[in-house]
Amino acid sequence: MGPSKLVDGASVRTSSTLESAIKSTRLFAAQSAENISSYVDEAYAKYHSAEKSITSTASKLHDRSEDLLPNSIYIVVATLSGNIAARQRGILAKMTFPVVFGLAAFRYFLPQTFSNTAFFAWKLEQENLPQIAKQQLAAVDSAVGMVNSVERKTKDGQTYIGNSVESLKKSIADVTGVDIDADARK
């Protein structure tokens, strides 16, 4: 044993190896506690940042003119109704009915919030899944082109029928001498 030391009024004798072992253990424990504390603080800061980001994004999506409480209850009821409607059907219906019913109710009861949410989802899809977003744009462009083509063909058909009717009236008037438009106005 080493020399005697007074610690809090008591005489203590220890060896230097015991003191260095206790000192290194104490320093290791203090460093480990500090590391754990900084890790927990860092994890909490990340969690807090993510939570703040999510809540601010959700807050931006909700339109203040729409009542959230009763309308969200209607949406939940519609989703549950979809679940009930799919109860006696197959697995595909069980997966799609609640989603379709819930989204339809969301679109009906919170239209502006639904629009904001759809735009936000579209933005996320463009950032994270650009290939799928491009395919969707191509599909939408194709559908719009098809609708425009159908509208154009319909107008062309209406114009053709109108011209044919006018030509028929003129032919009848030329052959019979009867003005069909004049007789119809009387």
Query: Per the domain annotation, does 5 fall within a domain?
Result: no
Exposed / middle / buried, residue 110 (Cβ in 10 Å: 0-12, 13-18, 19+): buried
184 confidence band (pLDDT: 50, 70, 90): low
What's the Cα-to-Cα distance from 142 to each of 44, 134, 147, 152, rounded to whole Å? 48, 12, 9, 15
Domain's final residue, options 61, 83, 100: 61
Give residue 106's Cα distance to chain centre: 12
- Residue 122: name the closest of 106, 137, 112 by CA: 137
Note the pLDDT tens digit of each residue in 95-149.
999 999 999 999 999 999 999 999 999 999 999 999 999 999 999 999 999 999 9
- Residue 100: name the closest of 119, 89, 85, 116 by CA: 85
Query: Per the domain annotation, does 134 fall within a domain?
Result: yes
Residues 106, 134 share a domain: no
Lowest mean pLDDT among 12-26, 76-90, 138-152: 12-26
Residues 73, 37 share a domain: no
Average pLDDT value for the chain: 91
Residue with tokens 């890790």: 39
SS3 4: strand
> Using CA atoms, how far apart are residues 38 and 46, in angstroms rounded to an integer?
12
Residues 78, 52 share a domain: no
Check: pTM over 0.85? Answer yes or no: no
End-to-end Cα spacing for the chain: 134
Range of the domain at 180: 129-186
The first and second tokens of residue 159, run together, are 């114009």
